[in-house]
Copies of this chain bind each other. A is one copy, B any other.
Amino acid sequence: MPLPAEFHDIAKRVNNWGRWGEADEIGTLNLVTDEVVRAAAAEVRTGRRVPLALPLKEDGVQSGLIPGRINPFHTMVQINHEIFGPETVATSDDAVTMGLQAATHWDALTHVSHSGRIYNGRPAGSITAHHGSEFSGIDKIPHIVSRGVLLDVAAAKGVDRLPGDHAVTPQDLDEAAEFGRVTVRSGDIVLVRTGQIQVYLAGDKHGYGYPSPGLSVHTPEWFHARDVAAVANDTLTFEIFPPEIENLWLPVHALDLVEMGMLQGQNWNLESLSTACGEVGRHSFLLTAMPEPFQGATGTPVAPVAVF
């Protein structure tokens, strides 16, 4: 079923192809200028740090719902191995196999395509098994350090977590910004809290993934208007799932990644951050969320840290 006219209308309004030149591969991360970074560092006033990644473990968020996306599988290669002889220093080494989108992660801009295109109008066929993403692979992102802003939609609404059928709207984002007394600015990385990750933390992987609150198809325009650099949240699917428009699957992915060229993050644990923002009395902070530079990859685990 072709994408509906409504989708294409929004796509036109948020499209950034060519905005940073034909050769650009990183999209809205261009908005994180030196000036933005200086201002972000100025957010550090207490030194308090809050980690946002889930542990990487075999019993992670993947339930089998998404085929081929396996939880981190950790094995030992050496254990206290006296490689240089008895009574010498012994070494332990380990290895992992994992889906790059399995845990707390960033989607690369190439994680989705639509109508045969990826970000900046390049052909989707430039993604191959032998090279991965020829363009806009996650390794093309040099660094992600910027101001982070928590839009705590659940807290703003006075609930622990949003219900599974709640599509987070632009109005919700406005309310959350007002709740946090924060104005979203160009180059910001916006973290949207639904509280949904509590379902996983309570042991219900299936319930975590589906049904899930998430971003509405109308949010990309809100992010575009504010020149947001990247957006992450605390759900498996990022956008509301199942979708708000019947048979229109993953429209937010297509708008954010393909049209705007804006990275998305999923499975971020924003619970402690919500608490910290409340205690510090501030919903903005320095955020470091550096991708692991997997060559050609369409995603990456990330271990973000907010610093107040």
Contact = CB atoms under 8 A, between A and B. Distances in A.
A78 to B, nearest CB: 4
Contact of A96 (B54, B83, B94, B97): B97
Interface string A63-96: 0101111101111111111011111111111111
A44 B86 CA distance: 48
Nearest to A291: B303
| Chain A interface extent, by class | 35 or more
A305 B35 CA distance: 17
Given A67-B58, A145-B49, A305-B290, A75 B92 contact: no
A249 interface: yes
Given A1-B85, A37-B307, 14 more contacts: A1-B87, A3-B87, A3-B88, A38-B44, A57-B294, A57-B295, A66-B93, A79-B130, A88-B249, A88-B250, A90-B112, A96-B96, A290-B305, A293-B303
Interface of A: 1-3, 33-38, 41-42, 44-51, 53-59, 64, 66-70, 72-81, 83-101, 110-115, 124-125, 127-130, 132-133, 139, 142-143, 145, 247, 249-251, 253-254, 286, 288, 290-299, 301, 303-305, 307
